[in-house]
Amino acid sequence: MSMQKVAVLGSGTVGEVLANGFLKHGYAVMRGTREVQKLAAWAQGKANASVGTFEQAAAYGDIIVLALKGSAAETVVRGLADSLAGKVVLDATNPIADRPPQDGMISFFTTSLGDSLMERLVAAAPKAHFVKAFSSVGNANFVNPDFGGTLPTMFICGNDAAAKDKVTHVLQQFGWEAADMGVAAAARVIEPLCILWCIPGMLHNQWTHAFKLLKR
Ligand SMILES: NC(=O)c1ccc[n+]([C@@H]2O[C@H](COP(=O)([O-])OP(=O)(O)OC[C@H]3O[C@@H](n4cnc5c(N)ncnc54)[C@H](OP(=O)(O)O)[C@@H]3O)[C@@H](O)[C@H]2O)c1
């Protein structure tokens, strides 16, 4: 079977950690950026790793990972809508506003629970199959984190069942159990988990935790 191709859109830490995670798990990865030159060193010497523009990466990937600044994501996605059609789009973005945190709480530019960034992305590229994932945990925990044998929970949502199955498989490879919270609109409550996740970090410099959904 040929290697699955993943496009990671985003030149920041989140893009780098996820790109390295996909390489580790046997995928071919192209990272996308507006400035291809700045990622050249990342790809150098790595098998199955390449760099391109957002457009080149979106055309390349079978799976697309969004690791973009939240405030830029909607415009970028709208511009790539044709390339994203029919593809799984793993959306790790959060709608973080440029305001400073208050009492340990970062703020969002989506200001009501009737709105979410991922729903805006769905509207911008309606034929893509978006799945929210990796948005509610710090990047240091993304790839096979060690919680002493306990599998952490990744809350996911999206409108396409097959896309969620694919992302669930990726999450298993990355050492997570997926908890499917339903349709894309559930991003309204998954995205704010990022605010909750950041509070121990902002207040106590504690950044190594993850969520676990206990069941009985
Ligand atoms: N930090 C974490 O641990 C963490 C955890 C979960 C989720 N997240 C979310 O993951 C996403 C990525 O975070 P990050 O810290 O790695 O990177 P970031 O600094 O939030 O975003 C970097 C990416 O956004 C693109 N970008 C910025 N402004 C743009 C514009 N005006 N037009 C087009 N593209 C633009 C950059 O493009 P260029 O490559 O061209 O510069 C770059 O690829 C964010 O939405 C964040 O909230 C972060």
Residue closest by Cα to atom 47 of ligand 1: 94
Structural domains of the chain, count: 1
216 within a domain of the structure (yes/no): no
CATH number, domain of 50, equals 3.40.50.720
What's the CA gap between 72 and 208, in Å, rounded? 27
Confidence bin at 2 (pLDDT 50/70/90): confident
What's the CA gap between 181 and 35, in Å, rounded? 36
215 within a domain of the structure (yes/no): no
Task: Tell which atom from ligand 1 comes closest to the C-alpha of 35.
Answer: 40
pLDDT tens, residue by residue, 150-173: 999 999 999 999 999 999 999 999
213 within a domain of the structure (yes/no): no
CB 160 within 8 A of CB 136: no
What's the CA gap between 138 and 123, in Å, rounded? 27
**Is 90 exceeded by the pLDDT of residue 87?**
yes
Name the residue range of residue 115's domain. 5-204
User: pTM surpassing 0.95?
Assistant: yes
Could you give the 3-state DSSP secondary structure of residue 90?
A: strand
Which of 53, 56, 68 to probe ligand 1 with, by most ligand atoms within 8 A of CB?
68
In angstroms, what CA-CA distances link 124 with 120, 128, 154, 155?
Answer: 6, 9, 25, 23
139 within a domain of the structure (yes/no): yes
214 within a domain of the structure (yes/no): no
What's the CA gap between 186 and 116, in Å, rounded? 8
**Is 90 exceeded by the pLDDT of residue 197?**
yes
118 within a domain of the structure (yes/no): yes
